[in-house]
């Protein structure tokens, strides 16, 4: 029993080794993208307020809807919407990357590196592409 | 211990094992993320098709059955997905019981209100009045 306690540390309070945390690692792209995935997730969490506001305004009437349209059309609104678009796409692509990893594929250094770069480049490219499409849908240059 | 002597070792440990639900949080997050990819694509298409339209046209499109069903699926799926995600973030960073339970409860309240309000708006657009 004493031997078991010594081996497992059970029964005795003793200083345990603390696992190394963020500040001890050299920043790497996969690590940064992991953090960004969480940050975009949290941002989208509060971003759902915008979608709720938009839907409730549409259900309330033309005046309420006009207020939403005015805000979304303002500089601040456009910046928020642009950030929201990128966060949504980045979180989606990052999520797909995680789903690939869930199948035990893509763990090689080369694979995980290109998938991470693809998430970043893809999310920026898709965001710009969507905004061009949206700009044209709004009537394009007038 | 004041336990009666006649309790067997088996009776003492019964019910103290794993709850057999260890992977359900992970699994539900994956299920809602797969659905989320499809529904997000749907949301993007819907939003772009609504850009620049009048309020009357937006009401008509959002209220049409197919679009309303897709929007409802998006809202319900996203609400559950973000509830799971925020719960994970809270459990990672908030260790003091008082703040932890306050945050977990706020998470549930926030998701319930935002999710229900959005779903109600879509239903109202769809059923009218």
* Domain range list for chain A: 29-137
- HEC string of B59-79 equals HHHHHCHHHHHHHHHHHHHHH
CATH architecture of A29-137: Up-down Bundle (1.20)
Report whether pLDDT(A26) > 90. Answer: no
pLDDT at position B13: 84
Q: Enumerate domains of chain B plus CATH numbers.
A: 25-127 (1.20.1300)
Per CB distance under 8 Å, which residues of B are interface residues toward A?
Answer: 30, 33-34, 36-37, 40, 44, 48-49, 51-52, 55-56, 58-59, 62, 71, 75, 78-79, 82, 85-86, 89, 110, 114, 117-118, 120-122, 124-125
For residue A93, the chain B residues in CB contact (below 8 A) are none
Q: Give yes or no for A38 touching B (CB within 8 A).
A: yes
State the Cα–Cα distance between residues B103 and B97, nearest whole angstrom.
Answer: 10
Cβ-count burial B85-104 (b if 16+ within 10 Å, e if not): bbbebbeeeeeeeeeeeebb
**pLDDT at A13 > cutoff 80:** no
Report CB contact under 8 Å: B58, A65: yes
- pLDDT interval class at A141 (50, 70, 90): confident
- What pLDDT is stored for residue A128 in this prediction? 97
Chain B interface, best mutation among A86, A95, A100, A123, by max B CB count within 10 A: A95
CB contact under 8 A, B118 and A99: no
Q: Which of B91, B110, B87 is nearest to B28 (CA)?
A: B87
**Which residues of A fall within a CB distance of 8 Å from B116?**
none
Contact B118 A52 (CB under 8 A): yes
Report the alpha-carbon angle B78-B82-B86, nearest 5: 175
Low-confidence ranges of chain B (pLDDT < 50): none
Category of A18 on φ-ψ map: left (φ > 0), alpha (ψ -120 to 50) or beta: beta
**Are the beta carbons of B124 and A59 separated by less than 8 Å?**
yes
Length of chain B: 129
Higher pLDDT, A125 or B19: A125
Taking only the tens place, the pLDDT of each residue in A37-78 is 999 999 999 999 999 999 999 999 999 999 999 999 999 999
pLDDT at A3: 57
- Say yes or no: A96 contacts chain B, CB-CB below 8 A: yes
Percent of chain A whose predicted confidence (pLDDT) is above 90 = 70
Q: Which of A38, A59, A134 sits opposite B51 (nearest CB)?
A: A134
Residue A9 pLDDT > 60, yes or no? no
Task: Name the CA radius of gyration of chain B, rounded.
Answer: 22
Report pLDDT for B21.
Answer: 81
Range list of H helices, chain B: 9-13, 24-50, 55-63, 65-93, 97-127
Chain A positions touching B124 (Cβ under 8 A) are 59
């Amino acid at each position: 029993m004493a031997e078991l306690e010594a081996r497992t540390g059970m029964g005795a309070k003793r200083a345990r080794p603390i696992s190394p945390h963020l500040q001890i690692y050299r920043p790497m792209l996969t690590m940064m993208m992991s953090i960004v995935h969480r940050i975009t997730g949290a941002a989208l969490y509060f971003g759902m307020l915008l979608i709720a506001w938009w839907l409730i305004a549409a259900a309330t009437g033309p005046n309420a809807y006009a207020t939403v349209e005015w805000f979304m059309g303002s500089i601040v609104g456009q910046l928020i919407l642009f950030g929201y678009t990128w966060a949504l796409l980045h979180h989606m692509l990052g999520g797909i990357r995680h789903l690939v990893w869930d199948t035990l594929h893509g763990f090689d250094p080369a694979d995980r590196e290109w998938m991470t770069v693809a998430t970043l480049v893809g999310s920026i490219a898709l965001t710009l592409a969507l905004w061009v499409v949206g700009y044209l849908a709004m009537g394009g240059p007038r | 211990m004041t336990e009666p002597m006649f309790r067997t070792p088996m009776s003492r440990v019964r019910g103290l094992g794993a709850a057999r639900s260890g992977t359900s949080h992970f699994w539900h997050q994956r299920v809602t993320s797969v659905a989320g990819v499809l529904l997000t694509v749907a949301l993007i298409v819907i939003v772009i098709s609504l850009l620049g339209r009048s309020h009357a046209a937006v009401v008509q499109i959002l209220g049409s059955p197919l679009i309303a069903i897709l929007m409802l699926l998006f809202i319900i799926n996203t609400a559950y997905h973000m509830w799971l995600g925020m719960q994970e973030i809270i459990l990672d960073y908030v260790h003091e019981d008082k703040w932890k339970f306050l945050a977990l409860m706020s998470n549930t309240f926030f998701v319930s209100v935002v999710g229900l309000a959005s779903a109600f708006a879509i239903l109202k657009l769809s059923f009218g009045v």
